[in-house]
Structure 1
């Protein structure tokens, strides 16, 4: 699988060109303790290799010379393995991961001086790492210094990430399976958190239930810092303190997903702390559900990505007018309210984002090949989230019964040939379903 991806990337490169891609560095937390290590997504997508201090070099085919995939990684070191764990070493990594060549990472500078000599172009993600930028600059300088001997340096530099972004946008069967597993684990975690919730528990206790279910089912990490926001905290989009008690009569908004074998899930559910929605909470909650259903219906291959957002906004804005959140006397129609951007007071974010190895996955949302850069068309194999919401802060003219209610409902979706498949559907979200689950607890 990884070799096939490398071959596809090399085929898009200029003949004989060289691409350089490094994994993420280890990062010191404090003293002599590092943050938990997580590989670079681009690097992992092309290699499947998770060890730090690793670099991939691709050489595109030219004439009779075939394409080559070269790995630079840490040497085998039995003493360090006692302290830090198993290392493949170059030769074992070459065999296990299907590289054509592999060398110790300490030889990178010396080898790159040879690999960049007399090649037409370099593909590299400039600005991704200041340290690697400096190293690449040194390689090019060393090659140019040999100009009097007839050796030439690459005459062009191309941005590497853009090519990989387009590849990563379309998930193959293996990726779809991993994403479905990540979504299933996160869905079970949300159900567990619902059963646990009751008045008086702290937000961090709910977070602990989520994390327990993630790890119990084999997920390696949370895909991002979980949001557990009760009461007015739910009106803070990226709330992360998770340190307040959950009170009777409030809602709790939980945005949490896990990472399973390199792929993220991203689910948001909102439920009543007491186990039953109040009438104002239920009204707003079902409005958000209706908006999500409208967005799902707009996810069809060939339709613009932006259609799902527009469908959700139309439903939400209409509900805001009907409920008195927006003044009907001011707007002759839903379209007028949207044109005036009045809905932004209560719904200020987009309805989704790409999903994959990164929770906010790579790839442009617009078709950059067309002059006006319109929203790009959806294709089968794309994965995205659908996350409409409504957030009502106290304000003059806003009905008090809705104050401090924040609701978001988010699912993970795969675009299919006939429409879409909801990967996270096991996470309860219908009013009756949520109340029944919490009632059992």
Structure 2
């Protein structure tokens, strides 16, 4: 006759290596199955000396499993065996909890998935209120697994901070701490953790460049969004930039304009007081060679021109944010993909007029001996769609220096 649930010494198995083996196997199964006491688990019988005898007792078998290498442990029967008064009267779940807390790993994973899904929905909702464009969609897509869920490398808190920061960009020369306070109400929100990296990844997609890892590259990338990491390093060079104020920096700018001297303005200088232009038009170029040529050729007669010297810095944005109402901004860049993107953003941000950034100017400047291959991600030119098409066809970039004679005529 088969043995009962209380056979073979009953509670005498408590505290033995044999019972420890069964409980460890049961714990692993339960924690991966919503803590449900159901199903079975394989037990290696050589894990403890008398394990086959204990398994026979739990399974209600009169024969030992001496020749078998493994056996299936039915969790429901094991629970009933442990719960029998002769075997201690404490069921499987309570027995395991007496030893250590049980982790419902399925529930924990499901809760985490819910939290990440809500965080992703919140991010999408917040960014949907901005007009940043498709690069933000590409950034969010880059954070997802193949099944559309938020990737494991992305912390929920970091995503929330990064999204809030991106929603308030671009800034006009604000510091990192000011942006953090504006976006999150916490000046330290961008001082550490994963949020700064996520923001930089998004800005890299916007600029069509790899995410920088060096301090200078990181500073310059923040500055493309008008955020200052260092108010003394962020600068803009101007020529002929006369202003209506009379404070120290204003006088320096006016004196330099009268003398035809290119004048570098740091973000720190710009924040010392307003610098309101007196000219009706401000020209913006990308390369310092244009300002140098204008200073050499036109001197104090040059029109007001601002040089970004590459990607527009926080200082550029801060200066232009203080422009006189009604001022026309004429903006240009190199004829390359980055140049098209920068001009496009200037049109959107400042209602700028593209300055000789058209198909005719490109074709006039195009010369295989003085051009170079286009690099990076292609861009569009909504103000003159044929320009981008022509650049696609030729595959050549033309630097701004090739157009200096035409630019000087506009500045005179």
Q: TM-score range by the shorter chain?
A: under 0.3
Q: Give the structure with the higher percent helix.
A: 2
Larger radius of gyration: 2
Greater relative CO, 1 or 2 (CA 8 Å, sep 6+) = 1
Q: Give the structure with the higher percent strand.
A: 1
User: TM-score, length-normalised on structure 2?
Assistant: 0.25
User: TM-score, length-normalised on structure 1?
Assistant: 0.24
